[in-house]
Amino acid sequence: MTALTSLFTPHWHAELELGYARFGETTRPVYRRHSGPLRVQKHLYAEGPEVCQHIIVHPPGGIAGGDRLDISATVGADAWAQLTSPGAAKWYRAAAPAFQQLALHVEAGATLEWLPQETIVYSAAQAELSTAIELEGDARLFYWDMVALGRPAASERFDAGHFQAQLDIRRDGELLWHECQRVIGGDSLLDSPIGFDGQPVFATLIATGEIDAGLMERCRELPNRVRGDLTQLPGLIVGRCLAREALHARAWLIELWRLLRPELLGREVVPPRIWST
């Protein structure tokens, strides 16, 4: 019966394509196509017409085995798009893998801020994510992601299944950043002091540009409840942290954003209102 049931379990294949362009002083959405349960809410201008904010919504609220999400966005020359989400993405326990593919293209003079809320990977989920970011010329990027393995608030450890992710960032075809990770549920790496050290949440921040030693020190001295640090690489700032709770990781990322955004992007932070609801 179990085998027969799995054959008829419905799977969602959802696609979302977005495009943005600059008209005078305003960034406008110029292309939007969706298929399946992926949408964006009405575009917002919380900090004026230059920055177009969109909230990506996945109405089912969770990703089950066999589901596939494909999201792509192109930010045209000199435009500025800020993309976030209304809440955590949940990857449910499943007998088969589920997939997310993200493709982001930022043209010369443009800026993309990719600022989703956390990804929660339930124990026994099989989550496989792939992200490819293409930058042209002097395009700017501010990117983060947060992943919670298991559900600490429910005392659920990530003791089965797997989480797999790949991230590639290129500028004019040249690879700037490449990483692959695969975490197996119940692996000793989860508790090892050279691995996750018993912390179920990890986060990554990557921003284009360079900062001076003074600002780097201010970022490193931020009061926080995570184990994290920043590194300056040629043309990239990379931040990593481990945390007991997703809220702690998110607070750390937001405070780094407050400090880094004025220097790297030339604008003060205006947090999306959806984060407070």
| DSSP assignment of 206-233 | EEES---HHHHHHHHT---SSEEEEEEE
Range of the domain at 66: 33-276
13 within domain boundaries: no
Give the Cβ contact number of residue 35 at 10 Å: 11
What residues form DSSP beta bridges with 233? 236
26 within domain boundaries: no
Cβ proximity of 161 and 123 under 8 Å: yes
6 within domain boundaries: no
172 within domain boundaries: yes
Q: Which pLDDT score is estimated for 10?
A: 61
Q: Which pLDDT score is estimated for 91?
A: 97
Q: Which pLDDT score is estimated for 28?
A: 98
115 within domain boundaries: yes
4 within domain boundaries: no
| pLDDT less than 50: residues of the chain | 1-8
Q: Which pLDDT score is estimated for 9?
A: 53
With H, G, I as helix, E, B as strand and everything else as coil, classify residue 162: strand
Opening angle at CA 219, ends 227 and 165, nearest 5: 50
> What total number of domains does the chain contain?
1
Cβ proximity of 128 and 180 under 8 Å: no
240 within domain boundaries: yes
Q: Which pLDDT score is estimated for 147?
A: 97
81 within domain boundaries: yes
Q: Pull the structure tokens for residue 251.
A: 């607070």
